[in-house]
């Protein structure tokens, strides 16, 4: 039986893999994508990770993975389908194999087989939140995108809109302004949520126009996006804005589906866990963006990975799970 299965290989999962290896734990990191790095891979520039100023997000993600590989961390490319407490899966297990009857811990079911482990570090991160407005789904991939660094190049010399007011929206607007003729940043309030340094940069760009107090009500077009319908939340005025692309950056939703019913999550789906990353299910830990916390950054995700492994070690000592 493994000591720990780490699910996800963004900064939290990779940091956990590195710490687990150095702690001498038998660990496997399961990642559904062939490439490690998580959301950081889609970040054009990271300028707040100490020691690596202005590093490209993709390069930083690669560096994390190279570090883990150099230490000999074990990875498995597979999608996790579910996690079961061993006792709950006992009946099924008995049918599958007699050898595991005396074990405790968890069964991590993947599309590439089952892993038996004493503990789990859930580091699945988060995905893009949707606006859920008419046209959003219809034009996904036809002018609607959730990743400026992935799709921005298709909009060279074109007009785009970014919806949102957080760090990602500001970064997207800055990134798109380099290639696009014009970028509208559409925010539902009269103040951005993004870090001050990003706000200042956005506001200094001549081809970025911020449309305050505006919500996107609908995205229209024929085969491709042509118009986004905006509503001024103060005056109620409706306006049609002609754009070639719409980049939606309205936050993230935790990828915690497989943990439902196993650990407690808050109303947004973030796992309720403190700084030690321990969930309310003994043996399951949550690290990175999936954990309910105040600051979601690469550095806090990496810190979670380290803290989670420390908590795993303490748990293993306390619980004395036998093989
Ligand atoms: P975020 O910080 O949650 O911001 C989401 C933005 O979208 C907010 O401005 C919000 O408006 C707006 N919004 C939410 N729902 C909306 C809706 N239905 N209609 C219109 N607007 C809506 O999310 P994020 O920018 O994706 O960032 C996610 C996390 O990663 C954050 O914790 C962020 O700090 C972190 N991050 C950090 C960096 C960095 O340090 N460089 C880079 C990227 C991401 P309100 O402001 O009115 O709520």
Task: Please name the helix (run of DSSP H) or strand (run of DSSP E) that holds residue 166, with its range, or none.
Answer: none
Strands 126-128 and 252-254: antiparallel
111, 150, 190, 242: which one is catalytic? 150
Q: Are 311 and 276 in contact (CB under 8 A)?
A: yes
Residues 6+ apart with CB under 8 A from 206: none
Among the candidates 248, 279, 307, a domain finishes at 248
Task: Tell me if 193 CB under 6 Å of ligand 1.
Answer: yes
Among the candidates 196, 220, 248, a domain finishes at 248
Alpha-carbon distance 182 to 267, whole Å? Answer: 38
Answer yes or no: do 50 and 167 share one domain.
Answer: no
Is 150 part of the annotated catalytic residue set? yes
pTM of the complete model: 0.87
In a domain, 150, yes or no: yes
Note down the domain range covering 93.
Answer: 2-127+252-318
Alpha-carbon distance 264 to 313, whole Å? Answer: 22
273: left (phi over 0), alpha (psi -120 to 50) or beta: beta
Answer yes or no: do 241 and 138 share one domain.
Answer: yes
Give the CATH number for residue 174: 3.50.50.60
Answer yes or no: do 277 and 136 share one domain.
Answer: no
pLDDT for residue 45: 87
pLDDT for residue 12: 98
Answer yes or no: do 56 and 173 share one domain.
Answer: no
Is 147 part of the annotated catalytic residue set? yes
Residue of minimum CA distance from atom 38 in ligand 1: 167
Atom of ligand 1 nearest to the CA of 170: 25
In a domain, 323, yes or no: no
In a domain, 174, yes or no: yes
Alpha-carbon distance 114 to 194, whole Å? Answer: 42
Strands 182-186 and 208-211: parallel
In a domain, 62, yes or no: yes
Alpha-carbon distance 290 to 255, whole Å? Answer: 7
Among the candidates 194, 228, 248, a domain finishes at 248
Alpha-carbon distance 247 to 61, whole Å? Answer: 23
Tokens of 54: 């202005």
Answer yes or no: do 7 and 119 share one domain.
Answer: yes
Alpha-carbon distance 23 to 131, whole Å? Answer: 43
Answer yes or no: do 286 and 153 share one domain.
Answer: no
Task: Tell me if 10 CB under 6 Å of ligand 1.
Answer: no
In the chain, how many domains are there?
2
pLDDT for residue 94: 60
**Could you tell me the distance, in angstroms and rounded to a whole number, from the CA of residue 168 to the centre of ligand 1?**
6
Task: Please name the helix (run of DSSP H) or strand (run of DSSP E) that holds residue 211, with its range, or none.
Answer: strand 208-211
Answer yes or no: do 87 and 193 share one domain.
Answer: no
Intervals of the chain under pLDDT 50: 99-103
Answer yes or no: do 261 and 152 share one domain.
Answer: no
pLDDT for residue 319: 86
pLDDT for residue 100: 41
Answer yes or no: do 265 and 234 share one domain.
Answer: no
């Amino acid at each position: 039986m493994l000591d720990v299965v780490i699910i996800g290989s963004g900064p939290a999962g990779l940091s956990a893999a590195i710490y687990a290896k150095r702690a001498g734990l038998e660990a496997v990191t399961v990642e559904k994508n062939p490439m490690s790095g998580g959301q950081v891979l889609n970040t054009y520039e990271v300028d707040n990770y100490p020691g690596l100023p202005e590093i490209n997000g993709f390069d930083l993600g690669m560096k994390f993975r190279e570090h883990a590989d150099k230490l000999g961390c074990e990875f498995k490319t597979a999608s996790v389908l579910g996690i079961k407490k061993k006792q709950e899966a006992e009946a099924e297990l008995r049918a599958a194999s007699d050898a595991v009857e005396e074990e405790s811990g968890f069964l991590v079911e993947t599309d590439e087989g089952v892993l038996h482990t004493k503990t789990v570090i859930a580091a699945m991160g988060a995905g893009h939140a949707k606006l859920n407005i008419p046209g959003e789904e219809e034009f996904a991939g036809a002018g609607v995108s959730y990743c400026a660094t992935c799709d921005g190049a298709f909009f060279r010399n074109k007009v785009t809109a970014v919806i949102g007011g957080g760090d990602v929206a500001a970064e997207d607007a800055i990134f798109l302004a380099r290639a696009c003729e014009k970028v509208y940043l559409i925010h539902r309030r009269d103040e951005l949520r993004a870090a001050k340094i990003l706000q200042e940069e956005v506001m200094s760009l001549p081809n970025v126009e911020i449309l305050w107090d505006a919500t996107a009500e609908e995205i229209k077009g024929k085969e491709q996006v042509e118009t986004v319908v905006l509503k001024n939340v103060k005056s109620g005025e409706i306006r049609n804005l002609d754009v070639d692309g719409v980049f939606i950056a309205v936050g993230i939703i935790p990828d915690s589906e497989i943990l439902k019913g196993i650990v407690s999550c808050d109303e947004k789906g973030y796992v309720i866990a403190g700084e030690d990353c321990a969930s309310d299910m003994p043996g399951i830990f949550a690290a990175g963006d999936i954990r309910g916390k105040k600051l979601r950054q690469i550095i806090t995700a990496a810190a979670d990975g380290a803290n989670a492994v420390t908590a795993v070690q303490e748990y293993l000592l306390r619980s004395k799970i036998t093989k």
